[in-house]
Amino acid sequence: MRKCSDKADKTDKARREAYLTSATRRSASRMILAAGASVFAPAIAQARPRLVVVGGGAAGATVAKYVAKDSPKIQVTLVEDSKAYTSCFFSNLYLAGLRTLASLTHRYDALAERYGVTLVTSRASAIDRDRKLVRLADGSAVAYDRLALSPGVSFDYDAVRGYTPSAAEQMPHAYQAGFQTFLLRRQIAAMRPGGVFVLAPPTSPYRCPPGPYERASMIAKYFKRRNPTAKIIILDAKDSFAKQPLFEEGWAASYPGMIEWRPASFSGGGLKEVDVKEMLLIDGEGERIRADAASVIPPQRAGDIALSADLTDSDGWAVVDGSQMRSRLDPNIFIVGDAARAGAMPKSGFAANSQARVAALAIRADLDGATLFPARFRNTCWSFIDNQNVVKVGANYAFRDGDIRVVDRFVSKVGEPPSVRFDNTLEANAWYGAIASDMLG
């Protein structure tokens, strides 16, 4: 496994070097040189239309794979600063000890090896929309004919006084899976017996609406086994939350007395300030809660690169035409996943994957003459409350009257037989395998 990975790393590097060299040979007349940055493009750039995908999450990886697989004529480049993707979905199971982090981490190699996607392991720092270039952190740039932007979310650190990127190492948001999730698990494991864990969910919209409450459930699951007198306080910025009756039913049955939910109206709008040195969380009423560990999830908006490229509305979300997921502000750019304001769809891995398929077809229509079909979207969010108590909410969507709208929906019901929840567990696990394979397999 290790050998295979190392080999893949070298292959990527060699491919990228060859890529750069061929572009250099093509001479400056073919390359757009701006502000001292080198621009690299495939040797046959003039012959093959170029799709650049920025961000290798559930949406970006899916766009890259489907365009490369179904339209080999299109040169697909994925710009992503990590060599592997750790899924935010299912990461709460890692907190409970029900999955390893390694099992939630998937390399991008198959996209290159099976579908010919060019992997550029670098951070995309800016988009030059006039020149149709993605600028990279190392000073180089990649040229595109179409750009699929999947930058995920960024955090509004001004919303909670004292909460900064460095404070996030003491009170992890764990809303970008990987190191943050690892930190949170360590802090939960290190809590004193009978300690207090505070979870502060944000105002809507944000990534995975039931996520914070699944997190409370999975941390309670861990505490029940390892620290049964610990307590969880949810200091919410809202007065209600997704699947609330289902979570409350599950908490009463599985973790009686362990989880206390404080709505915004009870806490002056939720968390307003933190003091990470003292591990203090202060709500809008001025109440100070001393925590042994905490997870603060700040309000969110589209990933920074979408903001800096002026592709967002005044609330910080990317505006798209939901019939194709094409930016309403730039016809050469498609925006998919959590960064997009996608009508009635929530921000979830399933939704991102579904949007990516719509965008992939529209990109193939632009660059390869593929036939367009009316956009259809699907989503399901499963939430783990206890070992065999998994609930779900989902919908089918279509583009109608200028926006993405619900066609039909379903949601688990309070009081369902255990066998139904148990089947949901199997369904959720099967879905995880399927989406990981669909994105990156």
Partner 1 sequence: MGSLTKGPSLAPRACCAALALASFLAPVARAQEALHDLYAQELKPKPQEWVVIGHHFRHSDNCTSDGCVVMGPMDDREACEEWARDYNRHDPYDHTRCVEAKDYRTKAE
Among 273, 388, 400, 438, which residue interacts with partner 1 (rule: CB under 8 A)? Answer: 388
Q: For residues 350 and 346, what is the distance between their CA atoms, to the nearest angstrom? A: 9
CA dihedral defined by 137, 143, 148, 154, rounded to 10 degrees? 20
Q: According to the binding rule CB under 8 A, does residue 102 interact with partner 1?
A: yes
Q: How many CB atoms lie within 10 A of CB 337?
A: 34
Q: According to the binding rule CB under 8 A, does residue 98 interact with partner 1?
A: yes
Q: For residues 178 and 86, what is the distance between their CA atoms, to the nearest angstrom? A: 6
Are 263 and 239 contacting, i.e. CB atoms less than 8 angstroms apart?
Answer: yes
Q: According to the binding rule CB under 8 A, does residue 101 interact with partner 1?
A: yes
Contacts of partner 1 in 221-240 (CB under 8 A) = 225
Closest separation in Å from C-beta 388 to partner 1: 6
Q: For residues 297 and 40, what is the distance between their CA atoms, to the nearest angstrom? A: 38
Residue with Cβ nearer partner 1 (27 or 419): 419
DSSP state of 23: H
**Cα angle for residues 184, 172, 148 (degrees, 5° grid):** 110
Q: Is 288 exposed, middle or buried (0-12, 13-18, 19+ CB in 10 A)?
A: exposed
Residue with Cβ nearer partner 1 (42 or 178): 178
Q: According to the binding rule CB under 8 A, does residue 110 interact with partner 1?
A: no
Stretch that binds partner 1, among 50-58, 61-69, 145-153, 418-426 (CB under 8 A): 418-426
Residue with Cβ nearer partner 1 (25 or 277): 277
Stretch that binds partner 1, among 36-44, 102-110, 232-240, 408-416 (CB under 8 A): 102-110
Are 122 and 137 contacting, i.e. CB atoms less than 8 angstroms apart?
Answer: yes
Among 84, 110, 329, 365, which residue interacts with partner 1 (rule: CB under 8 A)? Answer: 84
User: Site size for partner 1, by CB under 8 A?
Assistant: 28
Structural tokens at position 34: 């701006």
Residue with Cβ nearer partner 1 (252 or 420): 420
Q: According to the binding rule CB under 8 A, does residue 99 interact with partner 1?
A: yes
Among 100, 229, 308, 332, which residue interacts with partner 1 (rule: CB under 8 A)? Answer: 100
Closest separation in Å from C-beta 236 to partner 1: 28
Q: According to the binding rule CB under 8 A, does residue 419 interact with partner 1?
A: yes
Residue with Cβ nearer partner 1 (80 or 386): 386
The H or E element that residue 116 is part of is none
What are the φ and ψ backbone dihedral angles of 350, each rounded to 5 degrees?
-60, -45
Q: For residues 98 and 391, what is the distance between their CA atoms, to the nearest angstrom? A: 17
Q: According to the binding rule CB under 8 A, does residue 371 interact with partner 1?
A: no
Closest separation in Å from C-beta 265 to partner 1: 36
Inter-axis angle of helices 244-254 and 211-226, nearest 10? 0
Instruction: Give the DSSP per-residue string, 226-253.
Output: H-TT-EEEEE-SSS--TTHHHHHHHHHH
Q: According to the binding rule CB under 8 A, does residue 97 interact with partner 1?
A: yes
Residues that bind partner 1 (CB under 8 A): 1, 84, 86, 96-103, 105, 178-179, 182-183, 225, 386-388, 418-419, 422, 425-426, 429-430, 433
